[in-house]
Chains A and B, each alone.
Chain A
Amino acid sequence: MMACGILSITRRLGAVIALCGIAAAAEPPASDPADLEFFEAKVRPLLVSRCAECHSAEAGDPEGGLSFDSRADFFAAEGVAQAGKPDQSLLVHAVRYDGDLQMPPEGKLPAAEIATLEEWVRRGLPWPDDGKRAALGGFDLAARKAEHWCWQPPRASPPPVVKNDAWCKNPIDRFVLARLEAAGLEPAPEADRAVLVRRAAEILTGLPADPAAVERVGADPDPAAFDRYVETLLASPHYGERFARHWLDVVRFAETRGHEFDYPIPNAWRYRDWVVEAFNADLPYDRFVREQVAGDLVADPRLDAAGANRSVVGTGFWYLGEEVHSPVDILQDEADRTDNRVDTFGKAFLGLALGCARCHDHKFDAISDEDYYAIAGMLMSSSYRQVPFESLEHNRAVAAEATAVATDQRRKLLPLVAAALAGREAEVAALLPPSAAVAKAAADRKQAAARAAGETVIADYGRGPGGTPVIGDTAAWEAVPTGEPLLVTAADAAARVRLAASGFARSDEVWSRTTSRGERDTGGVGSVDRAGRVLRTPKVRINQGVIWHRVRGNLQIFTTVDSHVVIHGPLYGGTVMKVDTKGEWKWIRQDLRRDLKWGETAHVVHVEYAAIAGEAAVAEVVAAADEPVRVDPLALAILERGGDPVAAGGALLAELLAACRAGAVDSPALAALGDRLLAAPAVDWAAGPAKHLAEETAGGAAIRAAVFAKAKLESATAPAILDGNGIDQFVLLKGSAARPGSVSPRRFLEAIDGASQPAWPPGSSGRLALAERVLDPKNPLTARVAVNRIWHHLFGRGLVPTTDNFGKLGEPAADPVARALLDTLAVRFMEEGWSVKRLVREIVTSATWRMSSARAAAAAAQDPRNLLLHHHPLRRLEGEAIRDKILAVSGRLDPKLGGPGVEVFLTDFQDGRGRPGAGPLDGAGRRSIYTTIRRNFLPGFLVTFDMPVPFQAMGRRNVTNVPAQSLTMMNDPFVVEQALLWARRALADAALTPEDRILGMYRSAFARPPAPEEMAAALEFLALQTRAHGGDFATDRRQEAAWADLAHALFNAKEFIFVP
């Protein structure tokens, strides 16, 4: 579905060829070596660089059916050239631009290149018949890397020498001034101090300057006064809100999943607050990136004062995209979801359109489809969760302590088991499986072996070391090894202690009592409060739709197929089950055949188990048509020892006692024997070694219970990613999930890290390594892209204008000086600790940023787009800043930071499925960033002023100018209401004169006093409006309606929304 390079002149060329009716170029005889050398040296590179972009099968359908991919392809096209006759060859006419067909369409080739092609035709079209597909038009990653600037590492340059040294305040100015001086232009004079204060406040915090600050800083003769003011802005929490909103555009932030019913992404606002905090705390940008990519995996998670894990919240980044409920083609849906994640990742951090390489190697950049799928694999290896980030670290510590206690106890208890069982040889024979059972074991073994080929083991927690690792969304699940002594708590049980006959994964009862605060997942998945209770199996590719779960307890089973989690019917209801085995081990059958196609279609699944109540345990998970057959280990052991229970019994007991004394019973057969012996009525639990064993076991359990008592049972949750085993993804041909190609192992981009990267570990998705590769100082993109974004926000235009695309289709920096400036800033950004605030400070306090926005006529004529920055660009505020400014001047602004969003105000015109209850007209006075962003119900006011539709990275907003914007400022009830509030605020102090009030209003709106004629006009207006509302301004100088009209008129003045 991706729109790709367009191949429009196909038909045009085809038509011309048909019209010209030139005979097919007969394939020439073998050429002599000199001619072939001429081809290789001159012609082939020219065809590669000038023609093959369109005339290549690699580019899709070769234009006009003409492909330069190989000799055979070229000569297969008819009428292109006549060997030896340049003047009769369409190719030559086309490059000469002497007919209707002009090639290449972007512009005529240099004369020398035209001559080369003429010479090639004259020589008889020599082209070696080497049989292989030529590099022509093919994907040559190294060549692409070599020829495009963005892949070359940034280098710092010394600031250029300038004539007007006195103008420069910092190195940035030298770069900018050097360009201006070279062009013979002067920088605009420094803006008026009050204008600077307004500009700094609105650009750095998105809120208007406090009039008192304008006056104070404006009047301060100290040249450093402005710099000090900038410090107060950087220290303001509103700075973080402002820059967070910029970042939210990049990460396609929304709080719902769009599509048909617009289901929520629960607690997505936690990510929004994480971004605000990150900017306010000046979290180093490298850390900012690392936590979004792999904050769940960092070795040193950031904890807040209350011990909450902040790092993991950043990973919500991955799950802010659109998601579909009940996709009929679930594989394609997964491919689409993953694409959005890969594409957003590429644009946000690397400024690369990785998504372009989904269906084929990138058409223009050094990005292969293997690169794309290598990264896609990391995401498909990971899974979505709601993370209880507040309790995460605390409970990890609790669980680790409990596990340590259990390990310690095991060492202590097993010798006591040996003591209790010593000398029980006489009983063994009676407890062992009878011959019939041994015979059955033989049959079972056979049957199990026969079935094994048709079964896929998804997880086996009984195998101990080397078996399936226990992965949970927190630490609630632990591995219980084979032979673990287990306290029996039932009062009527004969035994007090048993042995685990085989290992399993267990969630202690305490974890089923945890509760999450905030929104829960919707649909089938969210019917249980899962956060913090989840056991996640590895991901496995299976091709049959029946899954068997050997579990014990009351739990939810969610088999996540192709990472689809929005379970809302009509399909996939069967992926979620609730079971209660009443304390017994049971094989639970789950049938996914109704929901999904199987057989030829394989699906990647993993299973998530969450305890609903009490202790839960999982032993094995198997995809199989029939219930798996498991051989009784004890019977099997007898079988392996000759088949006679009596003969084998003594030896087995001896082995068991030895194992117990050594502190580990790894063998299921021995554990089973020990278990039977302990369960036998012959054991006297009231005295002797058994009594001791029971007491010690109970003591150990009490210690563990005391540890668990420290668990933090309640926590807020946030959307986050959960790591698992690594799954390598197939290259999907043409991006279609129905056409898997070869496997593309997970790794980083070849253009940056080379073709022979070591294999990434199978035990993890590799996202942490991915983050490190993104942030490696040798990565030429990350710092440049980040610095450029900041520049873009501060000047309205990046040094590289296409902030999200540094590839060949991006717009490059205007000139080498701009690039040198970008590179220098990027290198220093890394060297000086990736501090965004430091960079903002340097830019904003430069002489360049302080320039007036009035243009000199000469500069405007010479450089109308202001590419050289000869003046400060006039900018319209973004929708959020306009709305926030209205609230600020009206006095309605609630400056509260963070928290759940305020429901969006909906007009009658906003309708459709999933329509939420409408929020308050004024958004409760909160800043616009706190309006809930529902994909299908975007805030009308903000969208009118170009808030981007959140579907992919949009680091550079459109800036439109449409009547709907004016209509909003004129007639939107929000604006009208705020005008009235502003009027009341202006009228509140009875002692003021109308002139005082007007002065105050101008200062809040425009950061300047009214000019005398403006004051006169305002008074005249008030008189007119007061009369129109039925009053007389001469006697009634505080008529609310008239003053509201004045406030409304000031909102509609362009100076209110344009920052000079």
Chain B
Amino acid sequence: MTRRSHHCGRFRPAPLSRRQLLAQAGCGFGTVAASALLHREAARAATGVVPALHHPARATSVIFLYMDGGVSQVDSFDPKPRLEQDAGKDPHTLFKVDATQFNNVGKVLPSPWKFKPYGQSGIPVSDLFPHIGGVVDELAVIRSMTSEFPEHTNANYFLHTGSGLQGRPSMGAWTTYGLGSENDDLPGYVVVNGGLIPPGGLDNFTSGFLPASFQGSVIKPTPGGLANVKPREKSPALQESKLALARRLDRSFAARLASAGEAPDPLESAIANQELAWRMQSEVPALLDLAGETAATQRAYGMESDYEPTKIFAAECLLARRMVERGVRFVELTCPRVGGDRWDQHGNLRAGHENNARAVDQPIAALIRDLRDRGLLERTLVVWSGEFGRTPFAQGGDGRDHNPQAFSLWLAGGGVKGGTIVGATDDYGYRVVEKKFMIHDLHATMLHLLGIDHTLLTYRFSGRDMRLTDVYGHVIDEALA
């Protein structure tokens, strides 16, 4: 009996043979076969990998600059003069106010920062981000983003996995599941932990129901920053002789189980990945060692800043470039601690946002320039986003509460139309009034730029063909070159 595959019209690739997988490894994608040789049972489940790009890719890697906590749109990329005019008024008298996390609704609060136009495009950027202002012509600023969750954890899961619930695969996991990595010696999805793990924890970077090989590897921007990558032996020879003995054992074990000279798949794959692990022990520290970067580069990124958080984020950005250079598929950077809170200023907006901006502004601008100068920007998608925006009215006297109804993010790099503003919010920056986009649309756009039709990247789990974009998602064409 031939079983119908009930996929709601989804064309699912037939499971690939190992040979096909290996053959594709030479073609630039599908190197999942080499980086995560799965045994047959798991490989069967994991061959949802894109066998051929759905359309030409504009980018091959993603750097996701995660602004944990939620940057205020009206203080960054979405100027609202009306807030000055209505400063101090009760927002209830001006518009309908939604329930907020703290239900402590204060008065309309104008931005403490001035905006000015930058670059040829003249996109206004607030004084929080003078450096980013300098590269604004590379950015497509989307002012009409929305989330569905007014509190961090659900919103973080939503931003990362397309679902507000815990345990779904992260966008980085989906991407490496679809495309694999281009580097055999490094993980395909790397999260550089600058100090702040977002609310919701490491499950923001999980592979969820996808095989564990696609989960984010969390590294620290310091030498030896990946778990268990540092050998414990005093000398390489001590380790090599151990592994040599283990290999001898493996060969005889394989021989006992071999059939027609071929060892069982799982065993063969496990032996192969030990070799990869061994190589990673030198590759990862080499990646993390920034000493080889010129003084000028280090300075440009802010490695010499007198503000410690800037130095941390500078190292993260520099690492991101080095990873992209080496073919890592998906890099996410988390913010450093700045003493106060993440971008989550329920109070003390001015100091909090200023410190957070100070940490990331210069490194991000340097990253964009560096990628551009090295010809990497055209194949790297850079995404800058928090999990939601903030209210245009105060929480208490000098804070802003969470606002999922509108926030700004920007894209830059491969396939992005630089110097563009997409969408608009109302006079207060509270709600989207033009070209409303949701997180699924961001994900659809990211996958699109990587050459993937988001509706075709699926994984059968829990009785359904699951997608990063659930049943939603439209590519944000306005932001594309």
Name A residues whose Cβ lies closer than 8 Å to a Cβ of B. Answer: 1-10, 53-54, 59-60, 63, 105-107, 258-262, 322, 324, 326-329, 336, 340, 343, 347, 353, 355-356, 363-365, 570-571, 594-595, 597, 796-797, 804-805, 807-810, 812, 853-857, 860-861, 864-865, 874-876, 907-914, 935-938, 940, 943-944, 946, 949-952, 954, 958-968, 970-973, 976, 1011, 1013-1014, 1017-1018, 1021, 1024-1025, 1028-1029, 1045-1046, 1048-1050, 1052-1055, 1058, 1060
Contacts and interface: CB of A to CB of B under 8 A. Distances in A.
Nearest to A852: B257
A548 B382 CA distance: 56
Interface of B: 2-11, 35-42, 44-45, 99-103, 148-154, 162-167, 187, 193, 197-203, 206, 208-213, 217-220, 226-232, 235, 237-239, 241-243, 245-246, 248-250, 252-254, 256-260, 262, 264, 266-267, 269-271, 273-274, 276-278, 280-281, 453, 455-456, 458, 460, 462-467, 470-471
Given A959-B38, A1011-B252, A1053-B253, 16 more contacts: A1-B148, A6-B467, A107-B4, A259-B200, A935-B166, A952-B462, A954-B209, A962-B273, A965-B273, A971-B281, A1014-B248, A1017-B245, A1049-B246, A1050-B246, A1052-B246, A1054-B246
Nearest to B7: A6
A599 to B, nearest CB: 13
A6 B471 contact: yes
A336 B267 CA distance: 41
Contacts of A54: 8-9
B228 A951 contact: no
A6 B455 contact: yes
A944 B206 CA distance: 12
Given A258-B166, A874-B266, A964-B217, A911 B197 contact: yes
B99 A935 contact: no
A54 B219 CA distance: 44
A958 B45 contact: yes
Contact of B42 (A324, A807, A961, A967): A961
B8 A570 contact: no
Nearest to B41: A959
Nearest to A1020: B245
20 contacts: A5-B465, A5-B471, A105-B7, A106-B7, A258-B201, A259-B200, A324-B154, A353-B462, A363-B8, A854-B259, A855-B257, A912-B198, A935-B203, A936-B201, A950-B167, A954-B209, A960-B38, A964-B228, A1029-B238, A1053-B250
A6 B10 contact: yes
Contacts of B237: 1028
Nearest to A946: B212
B238 A1028 contact: yes
B42 A963 contact: no
Contacts of A106: 4-5, 7
Contact of B270 (A327, A876, A938): A876
B212 A951 contact: no
B213 A962 contact: yes
A353 B103 contact: no
Give the residue among A363, A914, A960 with the most B Cβ atoms within 10 A. A960
Given A4-B471, A353-B463, A809 B39 contact: no
Given A864-B40, A935-B166, A966 B232 contact: no
A1018 to B, nearest CB: 7
A1055 B269 contact: no
A960 B238 contact: no
A364 B8 CA distance: 10
B437 to A, nearest CB: 17
A940 B238 contact: no
Nearest to A337: B165
B220 A909 contact: yes
B48 to A, nearest CB: 12
A356 B250 contact: no
A973 B231 CA distance: 10
Contact of B150 (A6, A328, A365, A860): A328
Contact of A1021 (B44, B235, B241): B241
B203 A258 contact: yes
Nearest to A1042: B238
B214 to A, nearest CB: 9
Contacts of A961: 36-39, 42, 213, 266, 269-270, 273
A633 B2 CA distance: 77
A1017 B213 contact: no
B471 A1053 contact: no
A576 B370 CA distance: 55
Contact of A3 (B42, B102, B270, B471): B471
Nearest to B468: A3
A914 B249 CA distance: 43
Contacts of B246: 1049-1050, 1052-1054
B153 A259 contact: yes
Given A107-B2, A571-B101, A59 B8 contact: yes
B130 to A, nearest CB: 31
Contacts of A6: 7-10, 455, 458, 465, 467, 471
B162 to A, nearest CB: 8
B50 to A, nearest CB: 14
B220 A570 contact: no
Contacts of B148: 1
Nearest to A188: B259
Nearest to B249: A1053
A2 B168 CA distance: 11
Contact of B464 (A5, A107, A865): A5
Contacts of B259: 854-857, 860
Given A1-B164, A259-B200, A327-B151, A809 B463 contact: yes
Given A328-B100, A966-B277, A1024-B241, A8 B201 contact: no
B227 A936 contact: no
Contacts of B239: 970
A258 B315 CA distance: 31
A982 to B, nearest CB: 14
Contact of B9 (A9, A262, A1055): A9
Contact of A805 (B199, B249, B462): B462
Contacts of A943: 212
Nearest to A971: B228
A940 B201 CA distance: 14
B39 A959 contact: yes
B221 to A, nearest CB: 12
Contact of A944 (B151, B212, B257, B271): B212
Contacts of A855: 257, 259, 264
A1054 B271 contact: yes
Contact of B253 (A363, A1048, A1058): A1058
A912 B202 contact: yes
Given A106-B4, A809-B463, A961-B36, A570 B248 contact: no
Contacts of B199: 259-261, 912-913
B228 A972 contact: yes
A910 B103 CA distance: 32
Contacts of B40: 864-865
A261 B278 CA distance: 37
Q: Which 9 A-B pairs have the closest CB atoms?
A: A951-B167, A353-B463, A5-B8, A966-B277, A936-B201, A912-B197, A8-B455, A1053-B249, A857-B260
Contacts of B458: 6
Given A909-B193, A959-B39, A971 B231 contact: yes
B169 to A, nearest CB: 10
A963 B100 contact: no
